[in-house]
Structures are given as C-alpha cells and as structure tokens.
Structure 1
C-alpha cells in the first residue's frame, strides 16, 4: 500500500459490494486458470459456489462483459473470452494512453515510502524469476503497475487497467512461454523504476512506453500467428496505436 498525506491520493475506501466481490472472484478464477476461455459456465452454479444470489452475479458478469472479459450466451450461461488481435491492440493503445503519463506523474509524486513499495514488488518479481514461478511473477508485475497508477492519483484508471490486464492475461502468459522469459519481462521494469527513483518524468514515461510497446507487439504477433492467421500485426498497430510512426508522442 502506498501512503501519502495527500488526500487526493487517499480517497475514502468504499466497502466492496457483493457485485464487487463477485467480479474479483471471476478475475481470480481467470488468473488462476480455473475459468478458461471458451468453456461454458453456469450463472446459477457460480452463484452457488460463491454463496450469493444470482442478482449480484449477473450484475458482475454484465460489468465484466462491458470490458470484453466474458460473453453471455442467452439462456445458457457465459464464457471467458480470449481477445482477438484488434481488441488486443485497442487494449494496448488504452494502456499506453493511461500508463505512460501515470509513470511520468509517479516520478514527480513518489515519496520514500513509495519507492520502497515499488522496490519490494520488483524484488518479489526477481524472486519469482529465480523460482520459476510464473503465477507469482505475474501477480507482482500487476501489483507494481497498480502502485504506479495509484501514485498518479486516478482510481478509475487503476480499475480500468486491472480489467484490461485480465482480458489479456491468458495471451500474455503464452508470450512468456514462447517469445520471452520471465527475466526478460523483469528487466524491462528496471529503467522505469530507475527513472522514478531519480525523479525523471520524461525518462519514466519513455521507459513505460518501451515496456508496453514490447508487450503489445508480442501479444499482437501471438494472436495474428494463431487463430487469426492472415492478420497483419504491423498494419493493425499503425492503425490503432498512437503515435504512429514518425510522429512524436
């Protein structure tokens, strides 16, 4: 948890509703692999497993459907959705729009306790690399990004990015297995933290952009080379991600 005397960075905490808890339970199921893409799940069974009524479950799934994480099948249930190439590119475009300025703002706002919290997550990522624990690594990776967003002071952006990361998590796992190692991803975060530690906002933003673009292009190539063979990943990237080639951010 990042601490600050700045009230804008510490808004009152609203107790989670049953819908909130259900959303988090579904997201945890996706992260843990107990909810897998393509399989049909029963709304009624999920409500029974969570010990809640069907109403908050339906509300939670409707909210998740808005982010593309799940899709309903009328009178049958819901499925976890594996995003396609275009959706992946749109997600990365949104992440770039939110997380690059967040990193810049974090470099200006970070206090000693913030640096310690970021470093703790980074060291936990390193321990996960040494242990070969992909699940733990991805968890600490997500927490590190969440800390940066919290530093930027925008709670809505934090929730948006959490949902988007869940939408790409399964594809992202496959890029780690096929295209890069846990250590590669770990090392991409070092320039971001160094820039924030040095209070260098432009460098922090540039390092975050490099990291997200590297991740995004790998995700897109993975999708384009799989079920969406024939998709031109570079053309899709140039169409949807700002800035386009030759234009400054």
Structure 2
C-alpha cells in the first residue's frame, strides 16, 4: 500500500491569485525539484489545496496536467502519486536535451535579433533576483521562459514543444542541489554568459556554456 501524504510540505499560499491552474502546476514542479514531494507517495488534491489556500478544483486540474507530463500518476479514489525518476532516466533525458537543445541554441550565435535582446536581459535579471533570494520556484519559471524565448528564435515549434516536454520530465532535479549549496546564482549567471556569447556570434563559447548548463540537472545525483 502506498503512503498517502496529508502533512504540510511547504507549498506557497496561492489564495486570491488568478490563473491558479498554471500557478499550482508551476509550484508543484518547483516542489518536485526542491525535493518537497516524495516519489512513490500519494498526495490528495484536497490536502494540497488546503496548503495552497485555494479550492481543490484547480489543484486537481493542475495535477492532471502533470500526469500528462509524466510527473504524477492518478491513483483511483486516493489522489496522485509522484512517479519515481531513476538515475538512468535522468541521464537519458539530459542526453536527449544535449543532442537536441545544444545544437539548436548554438545555431543562434550571431542571429539573436537586437529587438528581443532587452526582453531576454529582463528574464536574466529575473532569474538572478530569484537566485539571490533562494526562490527555486521563481527561478525555475524565469529559467523556463528564458530558454523558451531562445528556442522560439529557431522558428521550430516542434523543437520548442519537445524541449519543454523534456524539461518537464526531467523535473529540473539538478537545480535543487545547487540551490541548497548556494550555487543557484552561478546557474543564473550562465544565462548572461550564454546570451553574450550568442550576441557576439561565438558559437563555440555558446556550445560550451549550454552544455555545462544542462549538466546541472545531473549534479544532485552524482
């Protein structure tokens, strides 16, 4: 019989906010990355809703979205179980991202339009501020939006969807360890280094930075 968690796990109060479904999903992704939700444990939507300070409906909707992402599985009449991610799973997901995302980003060297650079710099600043505050959930959101914005510059919609799916399935586990060790700022700083290399047209430097950036996902398992 699986354990069922009703205890507080340290989730933010979302009472009164709009777009709750998406906010809950993002908060749960961050909780997974931060180790607040335990693989194999069943979590009930009402219990999580109480902690969020909202009704159970948007929590159930968000968890159904995360079931589609492969992060949870529904347990009939009980709730949602966190799907375990093995070392091999994480290594394989990271390898796929390296094969797909690194060359895609590298090809942007010298091809980042000047018009989009300010918005990318803003996202870099958001990630850096979140890192300084030790706010993993806010960092994950800024990180996702930054990398999505870069990928969208390739003009390949399927590439964007594929990488976002891989990000979701990997759960960004590796960011939890740097956050605990005070190294989240270094990960955030790489965003600035990456954009500088792309703007300068330095493909080799961009490839090096992007590869190292993805390796952070493995760090908590090494």
SS in 1 for 2:194: helix
CA contact (8 A) 1:110 1:196 kept: yes
Structure 1 unaligned regions, length at least 5: 1-20, 222-249
Counterpart of 1:119 in structure 2 is: 121
Superimposed CA distance per residue, residues 96-126 of structure 1 (whole angstroms, 9 cap, x where no aligned partner): 1121112122224310122222111112222
Change (3 A) 1:128 1:42: closer
Number of equivalent positions:
194
SS in 1 for 2:201: coil
Shift of 1:186: 1.8
Whole-angstrom distance in 2 between the partners of 1:125 and 1:89: 25
Shift of 1:170: 6.3
Change (3 A) 1:36 1:153: same
SS in 2 for 1:71: strand
CA contact (8 A) 1:102 1:148 kept: no
SS in 2 for 1:113: helix
Whole-angstrom distance in 2 between the partners of 1:204 and 1:180: 24
Give the TM-score normalised by the residue count of structure 1: 0.63
Counterpart of 2:6 in structure 1 is: none
Give the TM-score normalised by the residue count of structure 2: 0.69
Counterpart of 1:232 in structure 2 is: none
Whole-angstrom distance in 2 between the partners of 1:113 and 1:198: 15
Whole-angstrom distance in 2 between the partners of 1:135 and 1:57: 16
Shift of 1:218: 0.5
Superimposed CA distance per residue, residues 43-90 of structure 1 (whole angstroms, 9 cap, x where no aligned partner): 8999x83379x9x889746632xxx31234466543122411011101
Structure 2 unaligned regions, length at least 5: 1-18, 50-54
Counterpart of 1:181 in structure 2 is: 183
SS in 1 for 2:73: strand
**Segments of 4+ moved more than 4 angstroms:** 21-26, 41-46, 56-62, 74-77
* Matching residue within 93, 96, 101 for 1:94: 96
Larger radius of gyration: 1
SS in 2 for 1:107: coil
Change (3 A) 1:22 1:96: farther
Counterpart of 2:219 in structure 1 is: 218
How does 1:124-163 map onto structure 2 within 5 Å?
A: 124-163=126-165
Shift of 1:150: 0.9
Change (3 A) 1:22 1:83: farther
Superimposed CA distance per residue, residues 123-155 of structure 1 (whole angstroms, 9 cap, x where no aligned partner): 222222333433322221221111111112222
Counterpart of 1:85 in structure 2 is: 87
CA contact (8 A) 1:27 1:166 kept: no
Counterpart of 1:28 in structure 2 is: 26
Shift of 1:172: 3.0
